[in-house]
Structure 1
């Protein structure tokens, strides 16, 4: 079954081979991907030759500014500079202006547009996220979508593919992958967590970032999502402390 992407700007339907973890018209993305998406014309953007219709982003609200006809949010998922998100409102929607506080996590579904010379996400829906599992879920969906779109194995940094699924092998494993099937970055995160698992509560996310100062926080969070999902690590006293399942 091919993924069907509908272009709002051109009104045509395009077919792609990948079957993606999304609804018929919503692609899970990061802010970095939207800011670097190829600009074709008008409000048409593409990622890996896939014409974007609606996309989803999960991030933190860094600030917002209410106007007469719209509210403009600054949403940051730590993969790049914050993205401007616009939501059109009318007089009956005034309650929206205080519904999402600064510092809250949100999930935004909308269309990428050029507005006042700047890329912005025109929001169809903005929802306050209270269950942090949704953040992990979105990260996994982004990784899976990119692997299927590019038909390659990616490191947690979506900008640099580790190896093609049909690419060369090194020591019986794809290049950039460890014997346990983890990427190099995931292996680094797991190694540090194992080292600190001797402590009662393991290692906190903040200490993990300090130990892996060369990695972006988004890479660490995405690696943690994979490690948790595959059972390599588990949470201890809260969702921000981790121990290795195997010492």
Structure 2
């Protein structure tokens, strides 16, 4: 796992729902694959204004630079203003107070829109989006991997603080006396400080920790591990695995791979 500026990269490459549609690990659609290979898939918390103001990274490529660094994978938090279901995708207009951007969630050809969105999302709901920055006809949007409704309003403020913190780290450096090799440095509780398994587990239930530990010990295969295997190997019931998965998904710690019952860790 590599890093730039201390911000660790992630194997959350082109998980299901990428802007090309369907699930292809590490794939890109169209002519992009011939332009520049993916060598940094860091997940970056950003505001919508940062996306709007991002500079093109390479001529003819749909890559962007924020704070002078290449950015492909982002997470944003905002309020849904409009929802436009279409044959091949659902387009959401998301507003986070700094700007408005379209988020496109491409549909599996074998699933309906209601089946693709496992949790109901309505206009005026606040959501968190994980996805890839895209540009089509000089108009930017986010090709969503995952869209989840926000249940805890504090997550909205937390995201804005996190995006601000990362922006300041890359533009002004880490805090005085902090460890320049890790965002956050020092002895703080930042999610970017490598404080071992205890830090990653902070706030998780016993079921969540058990499922996370098993996925980690199993080498976190890119194709993921099915819930039935997790239940069998950890001694948990299917109901416990489902509850643990929902908890880890809501934290952005894991994501679904081949189907809605197969999971892998979202490395940071």
TM-score by length of 1: 0.53
TM-superposed CA distance for 1:11, in Å, is 2.3
Partner of 1:65: 84
* 2:154 is equivalent to residue 133 of structure 1: yes
Q: Secondary structure at the match of 2:111?
A: helix
CA deviations on 1:148-169 (whole Å, 9 max, x unpaired) are 111269xxxxxxxxxx97xxxx
Pick from 52, 74, 77 the counterpart of residue 71 of structure 2: 52
Pick from 132, 135, 160 the counterpart of residue 114 of structure 1: 135
CA distance in 2, matches of 1:29, 1:3: 13
CA distance in 2, matches of 1:100, 1:12: 31
Aligned residue-pair number: 146
Partner of 1:105: 126
**Runs of 4+ more than 4 Å apart:** 4-9
Partner of 2:212: none
Partner of 1:3: 7
CA radius of gyration, larger in: 1
Mapped contact 1:4–1:13 kept (Cα < 8 A) = no
CA distance in 2, matches of 1:151, 1:87: 35
Partner of 1:77: 96
Mapped contact 2:57–2:70 kept (Cα < 8 A) = no
Return the structure number with greater relative CO, CA threshold 8 A, min gap 6: 2
CA distance in 2, matches of 1:3, 1:63: 33
CA distance in 2, matches of 1:61, 1:3: 29
Mapped contact 2:90–2:113 kept (Cα < 8 A) = no
Structure 2 gap segments, 5+ residues each: 14-27, 177-268
Partner of 2:56: 39
Q: Secondary structure at the match of 2:158?
A: helix
Mapped contact 1:26–1:55 kept (Cα < 8 A) = yes
CA deviations on 1:148-192 (whole Å, 9 max, x unpaired) are 111269xxxxxxxxxx97xxxxxxxxxxxxxxxxxxxxxxxxxxx
Structure 1 gap segments, 5+ residues each: 15-23, 154-163, 166-247
TM-score by length of 2: 0.49
The structure that is strand-richer by fraction is 1
